[in-house]
Amino acid sequence: MTLGINLALIKTACIAGVVLLLSGCATAIKPPADDGSSPSPSASSSLQSLRLSDIKAAPASETGVSRVAPPGKSSTKRPAGAINAPTGLADKSLPLVDIPVQQPLPQAIDLTSDTEDLFQRIRNGFAMPDINSDLVLYHQQWYMNRPDYLRRMVERSSLYLFHIVNELDKRGMPMELALLPMVESAYNPMAYSRSKASGLWQFIPSTGKRYNLDQDWWKDERRDIVASTSAALDYLQSIYEMHGDWQLALASYNWGEGAVGRAISKNAAQGLPTDYMSLTMPGETKNYVPKLQALKNIFSNPATMAELGLAKIPNRPYFGTVTKMANIDVKLAAKLAEMPVQEFVALNPSHNRPVIKSDTPLVLPADKVETFISNAEAHESSNKPLSIWQTYTMRIGDKLEKIATKFGMTLAKLKEVNGIFGKAKAKPGLPLLVPGQKGGEPLDMAALPEQPQVAAQAPAEPAPSAAASQTHTVRKGETLPAIAKRYGNSVAELKRANHLRGDKLSAGQRLAVSVPSQKQAKGDSKVAKGDAPAAKQAKPGKASPKTVRYTIRRGDTLTSIAKHFKVDTDDLLRWNRVSPATLKPGKTLTIQLAQNP
């Protein structure tokens, strides 16, 4: 009896051991999953602790795994790697235990990996929180309904975008900012606004001076691709550090950090939220971030870009720089680089004159740098000058007619080269470009950047230095015109510099004012007399862009109007803040002729 019981226990133990052995073999022999992942360790360890009572036959429909068929019978469903049970266990059919395989984790995006598509690199660097609003949808639809406009922007940006993306990358700034010039200037470095903002990043004169962008007779660095980008990113970083929020930083870039600060304080005092969407702002600033978000939405989607026909931009440098130690003519520089003048100007748009001053970096396509260096060395070795022009400073008693005759030029050409238009008078101290001793060649001025116009009250200094900036604290009873007169500013300049919407001031308020140097103050003391003299100054010399008004007639189209006035259709829409659908007979358009001769 005892012997029978012992034999029964031994038999039971042997069967349990065989079951565990078979199950382990099935697991070991089962091929790996298609994705190359291995079985979960936790599942294997739990299998080893199974008791014989836990293992019982179950229908395949319940377990998801087919049973091992007895000898002579085939299983209806047999997983790969399953093993037949030994013949002795045919009457004890046992199920296979299927160990679940852990799914692989999604692959993370390596932001440091190289990509051939610059827009993909930009997408990888998006870091600003998204906003969803009706304004975003409106602007997104507006852009998508104008694929030609988007294509032109992308085409213009292809010259400058890699440089901007690279600078953002170095500073660890969000890549959304690479799209900001699309909002500011449509990536046109010659863009010029009514508030005298200029360049890709649309710096007004005072902010440009604050960030060391030279604005003189020779050049305006607000239009310089490298200098203005560095200044813009410096400015954006500083206002981000002020607010700790990129959307508020962008609002400050558009409206002014002081104005945004006051709007935040006003909301905080009323217990209201102080985020961008909650502030009370002017219409332009309210639409500013939604425009950028709309562009982000479009450029985030490669399929949308393909549908709109937006070209990819290679993720490699487009240009390099070369610095010459002597003045060089724009036309000659383009010739030495073996490229069209207009393309050279597109990369070097900051120069006001047809001559580039010495020690100024020349921006050239990356594949033209070696060509330029080689041709320049050959040119100089043959003792040929790099510039056919020289500078002549007007003296007391000089007349433009006599100067033109003296240097073998026509009066019209002398004025054209030096940006003297209308009834503007050239005063003593004004520098003029005149042909060198060997005589000047005719210039194709249409191939050069827009030349700045000389106002009737020209500065006395040949190259006026940037005015110093300081702060004025408003005293009780002071008015804006009085402060403007005191510092030789116009009321309009003070308003722009301080983002003032009206003339009201409060005691203790701090204003940024520009103070001319002592020499400038002497020459301009009779000019700086508030708004009225400033207006007189602008009128005869046409210092501001010449504008005309045109009333749309029946049969007119946007293209025909733009062609008639020799302007771009995009500029017409931007100046008048309209869409083509709203252009109807009887509507009056403002057109800036001076900026688009």
What ranges do the domains of the chain cover?
2-89, 118-308, 319-447, 468-541, 547-592
* The pLDDT of residue 265: 96
For range 23-31, the mean pLDDT:
46
At residue 6, the pLDDT reads 53
The pLDDT of 498-502, averaged and rounded, is: 71
CA 494 to chain centre: 28
Domain 118-308 and domain 319-447, same fold? Reply is no
Q: What is the dihedral of CA 411, 415, 418, 421, to 10 degrees?
A: 170
pLDDT class for 27, splitting at 50, 70, 90? very low
pLDDT of residue 496: 67
Q: Is the pLDDT of residue 77 over 60?
A: no
Predicted confidence at residue 115, as pLDDT, reads: 87
Q: Is the pLDDT of residue 26 over 90?
A: no
Mean pLDDT for 269-297 is 96
Structure tokens at 192: 């010029």
- Fold classification of 468-541 is Membrane-bound Lytic Murein Transglycosylase D; Chain A (3.10.350)
Find out whether 392 and 432 touch, Cβ atoms under 8 Å: yes
Residue 48 has pLDDT above 50, yes or no: no
pLDDT band per the 50, 70, 90 thresholds, residue 382: very high
- CATH code that applies to domain 118-308: 1.10.530
Mean pLDDT of 323-347: 94
* Catalytic residue annotation: 184
Q: Class for domain 319-447, per CATH?
A: alpha beta
β-pairing verdict for 431-435 and 389-393: antiparallel
Say if residue 71's pLDDT is above 50: no
The residue ranking higher by pLDDT, 14 or 203, is: 203
Rounded CA-CA distance 226/221 in Å is 9
State the pLDDT confidence band at 466, using cuts at 50, 70 and 90: very low
Residue 250: pLDDT above 90? yes
Overall average pLDDT of the 480-496 stretch: 75
Judge whether residue 230 has pLDDT over 50. Answer: yes
Does the structure show a pLDDT above 80 at 75?
A: no
| Of residues 2 and 63, more confidently modeled | 2
Residues with Cβ within 8 Å of residue 575, at least 6 apart in sequence? 589, 590, 591, 592
- pLDDT, average across residues 351-368: 94
Q: Which residue has the higher pLDDT, 480 or 409?
A: 409
pLDDT at 556: 80
Give whichever of 296-305, 418-427, 548-557 has the largest mean pLDDT.
Answer: 296-305
**Residue 32 structure tokens:** 């790996």
Q: Are 95 and 55 in contact (CB under 8 A)?
A: yes
The whole-number pLDDT of residue 507 equals 80
pLDDT for 282: 94
Give the global pTM.
Answer: 0.59
pLDDT of residue 37: 40
Q: Which of the listed ranges 192-196, 487-491, 568-572 does the model predict with the highest average pLDDT?
A: 192-196
The mean predicted confidence, pLDDT, of the chain is 76
d(CA 216, CA 239): 27
Q: What residues contact 346, with CB distance under 8 A and at least 6 apart?
A: 159, 189
Q: Which residues contact 453 (CB under 8 A, 6 or more apart)?
A: 419, 420, 421, 422, 424, 541, 542, 543, 594
Task: Specify whether domain 547-592 bears CATH 2.60.120.10.
Answer: no
